[in-house]
A and B are shown apart, each in its own frame.
Chain A
Amino acid sequence: MIAMKGIVKEFPGVLAVDHVDFELYPGEIHALLGENGAGKTTLMNVLYGIYKADSGETLINGKPVRINNAVDAQSNRIGMVHQHFSLIPAFTVAENLSIGLKDGGFILKEEYVGSKIKEAEDKYGIHIDVNRKVDDLSIGEQQRVEVLKLLFRGANTLILDEPTSALTPQEAENLFLSLKALKAEGKAIVVITHKLYEVMEIADRVTVLRKGRVVFKSMKAGVTSDILAEAMIGKGVELAKYKKEEVKAEGSLVIEKLMVIGERHDTLVNDATIRLNKGEIIGVAGVSGNGQKELVEALFGMRKISAGSITMGGKDITSSNVKARVMSGLGYIPEERKTKGVAISLSLSLNSVIHSHWGAPYLVNKMFNYTAIRKLAKQIISKFNVAAKSEAALAKNLSGGNLQKFIVGREMLNEPDYLIAVNPTSGLDIGATEYVRKELVDYRNRGKGVLLVSEDLDELLALSDQIVVMYRGSTSPSVNQKDFDRLKIGAMMLGEGFTR
């Protein structure tokens, strides 16, 4: 039995795990439930030795243990399958499974691996062809290899981080069967998830985390999904009220039946339809990974659109490039502020003209006018309270909050008719968060349209005029502000009302 007691893990600015107690018994499947950023993965990474807890201890069968890295975890027979697999694509399944394997001799050992696999297949129903290259396997198959890897290394505690997020329903079903077989053999299994139906289907015990704390803990028997949903998303905090004014403005941005197909021929955005009017904030809710990122990239011209159309103020921009879209009035505050929103090792001056560097007053006779550019940077810094030494400071020397203010300022000073903002307050402190939210509402009040994509439901409820939920690439009909209902939208985020 594994017990974690009083675990605390703090990252700069965020208390990711806050005095959490967690118990895991052999022969059970324990679901660790919570929203994005609730601290589920962090807690398990502490158990697996990737992070070191700031305080608290881990006991195995009553004895305190120190797990400082994956090797320690392995010697304590703990294994973890991360969301991003750690397989070597160019190797075959057998070769991947042999890495780090102590039994079976120094040189490989395909026969040995083969016999072990046969065993696993008989016992747990995990099928895999050992001679195929990992590169050629589907996500579901790769996951099976990851699970086998743990079993081969003798793990009797298995941690799976969002194991079904990339699986087809059929593959997920097979995984659940295997997990049940493993459980029957006495293995302890943790499934990190934010999907309620999974918990209801396989878990024996549930722990719900919210904002780093345990808010609910019980055996599954007797628990309903409504109780879990409420525990997971909470009653909601009272947010500051934002003054919204009645705005009269003509024009809208219409996304109609948009389809985006990924590189693996998977449908990332499926028939998404959103209508954003000027003078309105439309919130896009959804658990991350349900196509919001791809929708926004397609909307901004950074991703190929397979079908559907986008019109802006009546003008079709479906096949326009980024430049043309920006010039006809689109702005974008990306979530990845350090890798996308700015060129991190260039100065603020040079970063201030992104999206306005195509014309006067910054480009005159095809030549950059550095006086005007510096003036713009200074204007952004002073108007949006960016704490920076000067406009010559490098973007990488700014804190996350100040960088975000800079990007918000740059995009707003460019005066786009429609502004996309993706998780604009994630990782910011309270002061910066309030600032950015207020700016977004002010921007709306000036008669502009804002498409606010956020994983923070409270933020969406506080700022939006309408909310659209995305689930598995599809969009829900929009919900009007007067019909906002935390629990109802929370349930939609988890798939209610969508065809599964």
Chain B
Amino acid sequence: MQIGKPLQIIFFIIIGLIISSFFLLASNVSPISGILYMLYSGFGTRIGVIATLNDSIPMIIVAIAIIIPFTAKFWNIGGQGQYLVGSIFATWIGLDLAGSMPPAIVIMAALLLSFVGGALWAFPPTAMKLYFGTNEVITTLMMNFVAVYLVDYLVSGPMEGALQRATHAPSSSTIPSPDQLFYLHGVNIGIVIAIVIAVAIFFLIRYTNFGYELRLMGNSNIAAQYAGAPLKRNMFQAMLLSGGIAGIAGMVQVFGLAHALLLSELSDITTSFGYVAIPIALIAFLNPLLTVISAIFFAGILNGAYVLEVVYGISLNLVIIIYGLIMIFAIMGVMINLNRVTKLFRRGRKNKLVEAAKN
């Protein structure tokens, strides 16, 4: 990471905001006050900060999860599916043990089971990649759709609960309040789980042989093999760990924030943490600690944009457009090599000069 990169990202985010301004203008909202109000509501008020932190929790955890295989250039796009299956397992064990076991045991069991569920979901694409050479981007992505419909089937069938009768939205029963993850000054305690995971994975990647070998693999599999890294075993471990941690995000969501397993329709694009996690991790240069900041930033933008909807009456779709634009431009800030761009322009000019000289 060069020093210039963070500045470049900020620069691109500003471009994203400028383009968003046109959409705001089209809805008769003054762009400057609109954008300032959005940032203020996301990061400036007590309520805003609390909401932002709470929303960032699953984003952080899933983003950390995918960083592990991403470090070895193994593209786990299946964070969403692993997250959903983790939440299924957590909900099931939570409801099954409710009342019969002390809350601490229930929570530990749910954490463990959600990890197992996520890892289980990551297993088939990994095995297929390693033994048949299928493309992991496609298989992990496809597993997401299976997970989405599995949730839909469960909440309107086998796991259909009392909550549905009250709200008419398919969902499981509620996790009883003694078992829920508690709030401290309005912030769910899940944030502690998220930060512990972030620090642990930071150490895993920086300070262990396993992390070192993943970094070598991310550079070149041949170099890693030369260095003595067992490629297949590392890949399996990285993917199962990744799936498991994404699964834990599902547990935290169910036990801390949603308190029940919900129909996937109720989790629209803005709550599809598995997908949002990818740009969040990339913008943080796959650094687990920076990921915490990057996730909080996007959670804040999203919250602020929601407030715009309420206060200025702009459409929800527009809110999501703005959120998406900022994310796209932030990613461009990470990916684009400005040196190369300027070189391209210079080369273009040089060619023209050569042409001119010839004529």
Q: Which of B212, B223, B228 contacts A340 (CB 8 A)?
A: B223
Q: Interface size class for chain A?
A: 20 to 34
Q: Which residues of B contact A367 (CB under 8 A)?
A: 203, 207-208
Q: Which of B207, B212, B228 contacts A355 (CB 8 A)?
A: B228
Q: How far is the CB of A389 from chain B (nearest CB, A)?
A: 15
Q: Which residues 193-249 of B have a CB within 8 angstroms of A?
A: 203, 206-209, 212, 215-216, 219-220, 222-228, 230
Q: Which residues of A contact B206 (CB under 8 A)?
A: 368
Task: Tell me whether A398 is interfacial, beta carbon within 8 Å.
Answer: no
B226 in contact with A345 (CB, 8 Å): no
Task: Tell me whether A424 is interfacial, beta carbon within 8 Å.
Answer: no
Q: Which residues 58-101 of B have a CB within 8 angstroms of A?
A: none
Q: How far is the CB of B123 from chain A (nearest CB, A)?
A: 24
Task: Tell me whether A344 is interfacial, beta carbon within 8 Å.
Answer: yes
B212 in contact with A368 (CB, 8 Å): yes
Q: How far is the CB of A264 from chain B (nearest CB, A)?
A: 16
Indicate with 1 or 0, residue by residue over A347-387, a CB within 8 angstroms of chain B CB atoms. Answer: 00010011101100001001110000000000000000000
Determine chain A's interface SS by DSSP, over half rule: loop
Q: Which residues of B contact A358 (CB under 8 A)?
A: 209, 228
Task: Tell me whether A336 is interfacial, beta carbon within 8 Å.
Answer: yes
Q: Which of A339, A363, A368 contacts B220 (CB 8 A)?
A: A339
Q: Which residues of B contact A59 (CB under 8 A)?
A: none
B223 in contact with A343 (CB, 8 Å): yes
CA distance A157 to B164 in the complex (A): 78
Q: Which residues of A contact B228 (CB under 8 A)?
A: 321-323, 326, 355, 358
Q: Which residues of B contact A344 (CB under 8 A)?
A: 219-220, 223
CA distance A445 to B156 in the complex (A): 78
Q: Which residues of A contact B225 (CB under 8 A)?
A: 302, 322
User: B216, B225, B228 — which one has the most chain A CB atoms within 10 A of its CB?
Assistant: B228
B207 in contact with A368 (CB, 8 Å): yes
* Contact A343 to B207, CB < 8 A, known contacts A322-B226, A350-B212: no
* Contact A343 to B216, CB < 8 A, known contacts A322-B228, A334-B226: yes
Task: Tell me whether A443 is interfacial, beta carbon within 8 Å.
Answer: no
Q: How far is the CB of A145 from chain B (nearest CB, A)?
A: 25
- Among residues of B, the one whose C-beta sits closest to the C-beta of A325 is B228
Q: How far is the CB of A299 from chain B (nearest CB, A)?
A: 13
Task: Tell me whether A406 is interfacial, beta carbon within 8 Å.
Answer: no
Q: Which residues of A contact B224 (CB under 8 A)?
A: 343
Task: Tell me whether A471 is interfacial, beta carbon within 8 Å.
Answer: no
- Among residues of A, the one whose C-beta sits closest to the C-beta of B211 is A368
B209 in contact with A339 (CB, 8 Å): no
Task: Tell me whether A341 is interfacial, beta carbon within 8 Å.
Answer: yes
Q: Interface size class for chain B?
A: 10 to 19
Q: Which residues of B contact A357 (CB under 8 A)?
A: 209, 212, 227
- Among residues of A, the one whose C-beta sits closest to the C-beta of B225 is A302
* Contact A366 to B209, CB < 8 A, known contacts A321-B230, A323-B228, A340-B226: yes
CA distance A82 to B206 in the complex (A): 44
Q: How far is the CB of A261 from chain B (nearest CB, A)?
A: 19
Q: Which of B203, B209, B216, B222 contacts A346 (CB 8 A)?
A: B216
Q: Which residues of B contact A332 (CB under 8 A)?
A: 226
Task: Tell me whether A441 is interfacial, beta carbon within 8 Å.
Answer: no
Task: Tell me whether A419 is interfacial, beta carbon within 8 Å.
Answer: no
Q: Which residues of B contact A302 (CB under 8 A)?
A: 225-226
Q: Which residues of B contact A336 (CB under 8 A)?
A: 222
Q: How far is the CB of B321 from chain A (nearest CB, A)?
A: 35
Q: Which residues of B contact A321 (CB under 8 A)?
A: 228, 230
User: B207, B209, B226, B227 — which one has the most chain A CB atoms within 10 A of its CB?
Assistant: B226
Q: Which residues of B contact A345 (CB under 8 A)?
A: 219
Q: Which residues of B contact A343 (CB under 8 A)?
A: 215-216, 219-220, 223-224, 227
CA distance A110 to B226 in the complex (A): 47
CA distance A425 to B207 in the complex (A): 34
Task: Tell me whether A342 is interfacial, beta carbon within 8 Å.
Answer: yes
Q: How far is the CB of A344 from chain B (nearest CB, A)?
A: 6
Q: Which residues of B contact A323 (CB under 8 A)?
A: 228, 230
Q: How far is the CB of A296 from chain B (nearest CB, A)?
A: 11
Q: Which residues 257-303 of A have a CB within 8 angstroms of B?
A: 300, 302
Q: Which residues of A contact B216 (CB under 8 A)?
A: 343, 346, 354
Q: Which residues of B contact A341 (CB under 8 A)?
A: 223, 226
Q: Which residues 114-157 of B have a CB within 8 angstroms of A?
A: none
CA distance A102 to B230 in the complex (A): 51
CA distance A323 to B224 in the complex (A): 11
Q: Which residues of A contact B209 (CB under 8 A)?
A: 357-358, 363, 366, 368
CA distance A367 to B222 in the complex (A): 24
- Among residues of A, the one whose C-beta sits closest to the C-beta of B223 is A343
Q: Which residues of B contact A340 (CB under 8 A)?
A: 220, 222-223, 226
* Contact A366 to B220, CB < 8 A, known contacts A302-B226, A322-B228, A341-B226: no
* Contact A346 to B207, CB < 8 A, known contacts A321-B230, A323-B228, A340-B226: no
Q: How far is the CB of A304 from chain B (nearest CB, A)?
A: 13
Q: Which residues 410-435 of A have a CB within 8 angstroms of B?
A: none
Q: Which residues of B contact A355 (CB under 8 A)?
A: 227-228
Q: Which residues of B contact A363 (CB under 8 A)?
A: 209
CA distance A327 to B188 in the complex (A): 49
CA distance A346 to B208 in the complex (A): 16
Q: Which residues of B contact A300 (CB under 8 A)?
A: 226
- Among residues of A, the one whose C-beta sits closest to the C-beta of B206 is A368
CA distance A332 to B203 in the complex (A): 30
Q: Which residues of B contact A354 (CB under 8 A)?
A: 216, 223, 226-227
Q: Which residues of B contact A350 (CB under 8 A)?
A: 212, 215
- Among residues of B, the one whose C-beta sits closest to the C-beta of A322 is B228
CA distance A300 to B225 in the complex (A): 10
CA distance A302 to B223 in the complex (A): 11
CA distance A332 to B225 in the complex (A): 12
Indicate with 1 or 0, residue by residue over A307-336, a CB within 8 angstroms of chain B CB atoms. Answer: 000000000000001110010000010101
Q: How far is the CB of B220 from chain A (nearest CB, A)?
A: 6
CA distance A6 to B324 in the complex (A): 59
- Among residues of A, the one whose C-beta sits closest to the C-beta of B213 is A357
A339 in contact with B222 (CB, 8 Å): yes
Q: Which residues of B contact A326 (CB under 8 A)?
A: 228
Q: Which residues of A contact B220 (CB under 8 A)?
A: 339-340, 343-344
Q: How far is the CB of B215 from chain A (nearest CB, A)?
A: 6
Q: Which residues of A contact B219 (CB under 8 A)?
A: 343-346
CA distance A353 to B229 in the complex (A): 13
CA distance A300 to B323 in the complex (A): 51
Q: Which residues of A contact B207 (CB under 8 A)?
A: 367-368
* Contact A346 to B226, CB < 8 A, known contacts A340-B220, A366-B208, A367-B207: no
- Among residues of A, the one whose C-beta sits closest to the C-beta of B219 is A343
- Among residues of A, the one whose C-beta sits closest to the C-beta of B215 is A346
Q: How far is the CB of A263 from chain B (nearest CB, A)?
A: 12
CA distance A300 to B226 in the complex (A): 8
Q: Which residues of B contact A366 (CB under 8 A)?
A: 208-209
- Given A322-B225, A339-B220, A343-B215, 15 new contacts (CB under 8 A): A321-B228, A326-B228, A334-B226, A340-B226, A343-B224, A344-B219, A344-B223, A346-B215, A353-B212, A355-B227, A355-B228, A357-B209, A357-B227, A366-B208, A367-B207
11 A-B residue pairs with Cβ-Cβ distance under 8 Å, sorted by A, are A300-B226, A322-B228, A323-B228, A339-B222, A340-B222, A343-B224, A346-B216, A353-B212, A354-B227, A355-B228, A368-B206
CB-based closest 9 A-B pairs: A343-B219, A322-B228, A323-B228, A354-B227, A368-B207, A367-B207, A343-B223, A343-B216, A340-B226
Q: Which of A's residues lie within 8 Å of B, judged by CB?
A: 300, 302, 321-323, 326, 332, 334, 336, 339-346, 350, 353-355, 357-358, 363, 366-368
